[in-house]
Amino acid sequence: MVEILNAIILGIVQGLTEFLPVSSSGHLELAKYILGDNALPEESLMMTVVLHFGTALATVYVFRREIVEIFKGFFSKGQNEEKLFAYKIVLSMIPAALVGLFFEKELESLFSQNILLVCSMLILTGLLLFIADRATFTDKDVTFSSALKVGIAQAIAITPGISRSGATISTSVLLGIDRSKAAKFSFLMVVPLIMGKIAKDLLEGDLTSGNHSYVMLTVGFVTAFVTGIFACKWMITLVRKSQLKYFAWYCLIIGVGGVIYAIYH
């Protein structure tokens, strides 16, 4: 029963923090630190992947109409807006894909309950959100140049504690992209990366070893999926209304508190 409760907690944490600009990876590390990694001995890696899969499907569900239109446009003849948008998504994926491909071992070393690093990056996320929240409202579209820059921000946000959605949306807003379009692009650009990472782990056999508790994995997946749908829709509304400052304060408080705890613990 305790393990099921842990799976629900991790699912809620992932579902909320994947979309809200407070760093899902950072909060999962904090949650594992508080719960103890022994709470999920065999499922730790598998659970993390399943939770990310749940939020990826939540994104697909929320933007299902847009995704269908993108696929229709992409496979149709001639150049069109949907096809160009798909190209921009692919371009934005390149920086994070390269970082994951060539620095996988170095990245894995960062995900070891390094609370000082996580909380320091949460402070950085908070400062970035404050700056973006004060940016002027504009109605620019995503260009190829801005897609690449947002992609670089996503690659940097692989570091635990830096919010991926916070970094990509803030970068988009600071580049002058319309806030609604910035949120849409930010959420859609990560889906192919998550699916690609899961496929890579499956092909390499990283997820097939060990005796996994499928009940726990299912509970975590469903919780992350349902919570993710709510958080994704909520975040789109918050970005439109320029209310990122509340999350900025949250990141700063958690970050500063965590740094003090890590130093004196």
How high is the pLDDT of residue 193?
80
pLDDT of residue 25: 72
Residue 43 has pLDDT above 50, yes or no: no
The band of 226, judged by pLDDT with boundaries at 50, 70 and 90, is: very high
pLDDT of amino acid 146: 94
Domain segments of the chain as ranges: 2-264
pLDDT of residue 88: 92
Q: What is the DSSP string of the chain?
A: -HHHHHHHHHHHHHHHHTTSSS-HHHHHHHHHHHH-GGGSTTTHHHHHHHHHHHHHHHHHHHTHHHHHHHHHHHTSSS--HHHHHHHHHHHHHHHHHHHHHHSHHHHHHHTTT-HHHHHHHHHHHHHHHHHHHTSPP--BPPPHHHHHHHHHHHHHTTSTTS-HHHHHHHHHHHTTB-HHHHHHHHHHHHHHHHHHHHHHHHHHTTTTSS---HHHHHHHHHHHHHHHHHHHHHHHHHHHTT-THHHHHHHHHHHHHHHHHHHH-
Q: What is the pLDDT of residue 41?
A: 43
For the chain, give the mean pLDDT. Answer: 82
pLDDT grade for 42, boundaries at 50, 70 and 90: very low
